[in-house]
Structure 1
Amino acid sequence: MQCHHFDAGRCRSCAWMGQAYDDQVAAKQRHCRGLLAAWPDLTWLEPHRSREEGFRNKAKMVVAGTLEAPTLGILDPSGAGVDLRDCGLHEPGLAAALPALADFVTRAAVAPYDLATRRGELKHLLVTRSPDGELMVRFVLRSTEPVTRIRKHLPALHAALPELVVVSANVQPEHKAVLEGEREIALSPRETLAMRVNGLTLRLRPQGFFQTNTEVAAALYRQGRDWVEEVAPASVWDLYCGVGGFALHVAAPGRLVTGVEVSEEAVAAARATAEDARLPGLRFEAADATTWAQAQEAGPELVVLNPPRRGVGPELCAWLEGSGVGHVVYSSCNAVSLARDLAALPSFAPRRARLFDMFPQTTHHEVMVLLERR
């Protein structure tokens, strides 16, 4: 893949842009295998590849420029906006919506936030596209001042984007590098986006997390489900469950599955999906994964781990070591923290691993490992 923004030096977010895709996947595989070289008996499956471009279901656009000519993209070193509405990583349907959103900024008179002067209101536009082509749009604002104008002009935005079904305003008043704030204001009757994956309809709320690459996320969930089915446990915990992707995929008659996630928004979405799908033996808890696990009288037969980049850490690893858990399925977006956590789990032997290229053109990836108690 080639990108004229990268070639011109305007955007270097994709560090591997221009490299042959086969070479990218091979380099990520070597990186992961090198970090996990301490387990020579680990069997590596064939990497799961992605489309090279047009794969991102979410656009995180910094809004800059002027009210009459806003830019959607990133900021250059001087703080000026670089417009990336034509970024080749976005799904085509997502890219097609961005010009209408830029026009809306002008129509609704929502002034772009200026870092240097700390004036203006609109900091980011966060846009997510579902597999069905529906859109969720979130306006990240400095204050609630523009909300009335946004509401007033929403009919025009819906006319321009009939696929728009979820709209909200997020309030982030602080002047620092934090993408969004805690307060979310619903601006549409619907508050969830239907993310249909492998026959399940996961419900994504505005502050919920979903993998950026829908096709590869579906493959990741299928792999986790297949490994769980091989073990056939009677009980499963899905820790750091998000909107319940793994928990919902491994639910089965006679199996008790508990998903744990600190985000109440994500847990509400997971519960709604479970209720709609009428899946048996499922429950979700809004709690810190480590604190919750330590408070339980007994552990399950299998644990699914899908932590943030920092990994699960020593406390949860120590709990797993002393538990009766027989198998772990660990999905990691950071092989460095994965290797550290595996070293803290000497009672478990990593049996199989697979790379999922969730983020082509970058160094980032997802890797999943199946562990078995020795």
Structure 2
Amino acid sequence: MKKKDIIEFEVDKMEFGGTTVSQLGNREIHMKGGISGQKVKAAVKKVRSGKADVKMLEILEKSTLETQTPCKHFNECGGCTILSIPYEKQLEIKEKQVMDLFLKQDLFGFQFQGIQGSPQDKLYRNKMEYTFGDEVKDGPLTVGLHKKGRHIDILTVDGCFLVDQDFVKVLTSTANYFNEKELPYYRGINHKGYLRNLVVRKGVNTNELMVNIVTSSQIDFDMTEYKEMLLELDLEADLVSILHTINDGLADAVQCDELRILHGRDYINEELLGLKFTISPFSFFQTNTKGAEMLYTMAREFVGDHSDKVVFDLYSGTGTIGQVMAGAAKKVYGIELIEEAVVAANNNAKLNNLNNCEFIAGDVTKTVKNLKEKPDLIIVDPPRPGVHKDAIRDIAGFNSNEIIYISCNPKTLVLDLVEFKNYGYEVEKVKCMDMFPNTPHVETVVKIVKK
């Protein structure tokens, strides 16, 4: 076997994060994507001793696991890679994948409480970030998601199962409107063009909708007609915010050089477990609202009685979990790197009349050392790369009896738990929460205790 060879094989094992491992002769085949039991054709990208990395080219035969009817974009869109598997089976697969990661790191002896399914396995997303482009070179304008394995081709995903009809109506009407205007989309390869992104956000429990059209400043286009078109749509939600964001950044990410309010206000309201939150166009908020309520309830149950305790909420984002814990706590300190998120967290705490919450802007690794008060309980909810080793050292240095670790990436979670073990912490409880049905991702809540 050598680079660029075309091979055919049956997928053996799905690993967490959407990768698969198969055995072909005496060689272990690693591939992004795939479902156990599928027969696939793939191109060899890299060959190592006893291993090979390949890229899937074609599914030759479906797996016997694939008994669900997926959306019309399945296997073209890069989103819901396991949509064809029944939801209960998806949960079994994710549960086993997480347990395998724990066992691989010799983490035993804890109470494993299984996996909690999402209240909705479809129509659950409260935010979608779409990209302008075309599906084929020089084809008509499209607005949607990237094709699987492609950096350029964009599908208008009007049959997506993850969002409700309000998202679909905004998406398709936007695509039709700007097709008629014949405005160029922004091309990252030469940084020329105008239309960049369409971001739609919804307050699931408040029924408020935000539409944010993101462009460069290269064309001076009057968005009044576009705004009026959106306001005339027959939507279930209340369209309270229409925004125009100017973004001239070179990165392929939504950032704001200038924000123009076309209609209403620059935020939507949401409610979570009896608390109120204002969500700006760039705020982080869990994309599965009903799932988030279950996730934070799960974390609160792991904590148990925390009355009169000092709580550290690290990587606190907009302060959601800290405020959920604040009702019974003596004091909650939150640390978050992104200043806008900290401002939002403090504003949300005021909105909820929580006088015992203080959110601080700073790098957890550095800021945590400067906190004078000692915590009775620490909550960590880090981004995908996990907790820096220096931060683990400092967090462990507080000698808190309990730490609740909420993870969106069990691969880095288990590595961090091994580090915490070196400082005398043992895993007591683990439970998974499926926040992202039909995708390879899952959240995990862990309680570790000082021995």
Q: TM-score, normalised by structure 1?
A: 0.90
| TM-aligned CA deviation for residue 3 of structure 1 | 2.7
| Inter-partner Cα distance in structure 2 for 1:144 and 1:44 | 55
| Inter-partner Cα distance in structure 2 for 1:48 and 1:85 | 29
1:288-367 equivalences in 2 (<5 Å): 288-346=363-421, 347-367=424-444
- Which deviates the most, 328-337 or 9-18? 9-18
| Inter-partner Cα distance in structure 2 for 1:105 and 1:342 | 50
Q: Which residue of 2 aligns with 1:18?
A: 84
What SS does the aligned partner of 1:39 have?
coil
Query: Contact (CA 8 Å) 1:168, 1:184: kept in 2 or not?
Result: no
| Inter-partner Cα distance in structure 2 for 1:244 and 1:70 | 39
Q: Which runs of 5+ in 1 are unaligned?
A: none
Q: Which residue of 1 aligns with 2:124?
A: 55
Structure-2 change in CA distance of 1:55 and 1:273 (3 Å): same
**How many residue pairs end up in the alignment?**
371
| Inter-partner Cα distance in structure 2 for 1:5 and 1:370 | 41
From 82, 86, 94, give the equivalent of 2:167: 94
| TM-aligned CA deviation for residue 102 of structure 1 | 2.8
| Inter-partner Cα distance in structure 2 for 1:193 and 1:47 | 31
* Structure 1 residue ranges, 4+ long, deviating more than 4 angstroms after superposition: 66-69, 106-110, 115-118
Query: Contact (CA 8 Å) 2:384, 2:408: kept in 1 or not?
Result: yes
Query: Contact (CA 8 Å) 1:5, 1:11: kept in 2 or not?
Result: no
Normalized per residue, the structure richer in strand is 2
| TM-aligned CA deviation for residue 62 of structure 1 | 1.2
| TM-aligned CA deviation for residue 82 of structure 1 | 1.6
1:121-132 equivalences in 2 (<5 Å): 121-131=194-204, 132=206
| Inter-partner Cα distance in structure 2 for 1:252 and 1:74 | 40
Q: Which residue of 1 aligns with 2:450?
A: 373
Query: Contact (CA 8 Å) 1:14, 1:362: kept in 2 or not?
Result: yes
Name the amino acid aligned to 1:87. C
Q: Which residue of 2 aligns with 1:166?
A: 241
What SS does the aligned partner of 1:125 have?
strand
Query: Are 1:142 and 2:216 an aligned pair?
Result: yes
Q: Which residue of 2 aligns with 1:105?
A: 178
Query: Are 1:71 and 2:139 an aligned pair?
Result: no
1:121-270 equivalences in 2 (<5 Å): 121-131=194-204, 132-143=206-217, 145-146=219-220, 149-151=222-224, 153-160=226-233, 163-176=238-251, 178-187=252-261, 188-232=263-307, 234-252=309-327, 255-270=330-345
Structure-2 change in CA distance of 1:233 and 1:184 (3 Å): farther
| TM-aligned CA deviation for residue 209 of structure 1 | 0.6
Name the amino acid aligned to 1:149. D
| TM-aligned CA deviation for residue 104 of structure 1 | 4.3
| Inter-partner Cα distance in structure 1 for 2:200 and 2:365 | 32
Name the amino acid aligned to 2:69. Q
| Inter-partner Cα distance in structure 1 for 2:414 and 2:242 | 40
Deviations, residues 266-314 of structure 1 (Å, cap 9, x unaligned): 2222222211211231111122222110222343111111111000110
Q: Which has the higher contact order (CA 8 A, sep 6+)?
A: 1
Query: Contact (CA 8 Å) 2:200, 2:211: kept in 1 or not?
Result: yes
Name the amino acid aligned to 1:207. F
What SS does the aligned partner of 1:55 have?
coil
Query: Contact (CA 8 Å) 1:57, 1:94: kept in 2 or not?
Result: no
Deviations, residues 47-88 of structure 1 (Å, cap 9, x unaligned): 110222211111121112499953221244483432102211
State the superposition RMSD in angstroms: 2.6
Name the amino acid aligned to 2:212. R
Q: TM-score, normalised by structure 2?
A: 0.75
Name the amino acid aligned to 1:204. I
- Which deviates the most, 364-373 or 52-61? 52-61
- Which deviates the most, 15-24 or 213-222? 15-24
Q: Which residue of 1 aligns with 2:107?
A: 39
| Inter-partner Cα distance in structure 1 for 2:293 and 2:416 | 25
Q: Which runs of 5+ in 2 are unaligned?
A: 1-67
What SS does the aligned partner of 2:244 have?
strand
Q: Which has the larger radius of gyration?
A: 2
Query: Are 1:2 and 2:69 an aligned pair?
Result: yes
| Inter-partner Cα distance in structure 1 for 2:222 and 2:385 | 40
Query: Contact (CA 8 Å) 1:6, 1:12: kept in 2 or not?
Result: no
Structure-2 change in CA distance of 1:262 and 1:78 (3 Å): closer
Name the amino acid aligned to 1:137. V
What SS does the aligned partner of 2:212 have?
strand
Query: Contact (CA 8 Å) 2:210, 2:241: kept in 1 or not?
Result: yes
Query: Contact (CA 8 Å) 1:290, 1:315: kept in 2 or not?
Result: yes
| Inter-partner Cα distance in structure 2 for 1:87 and 1:229 | 39
| TM-aligned CA deviation for residue 328 of structure 1 | 0.8
Query: Are 1:30 and 2:96 an aligned pair?
Result: yes
What SS does the aligned partner of 1:209 have?
coil
| Inter-partner Cα distance in structure 1 for 2:436 and 2:376 | 32
| Inter-partner Cα distance in structure 1 for 2:107 and 2:406 | 17
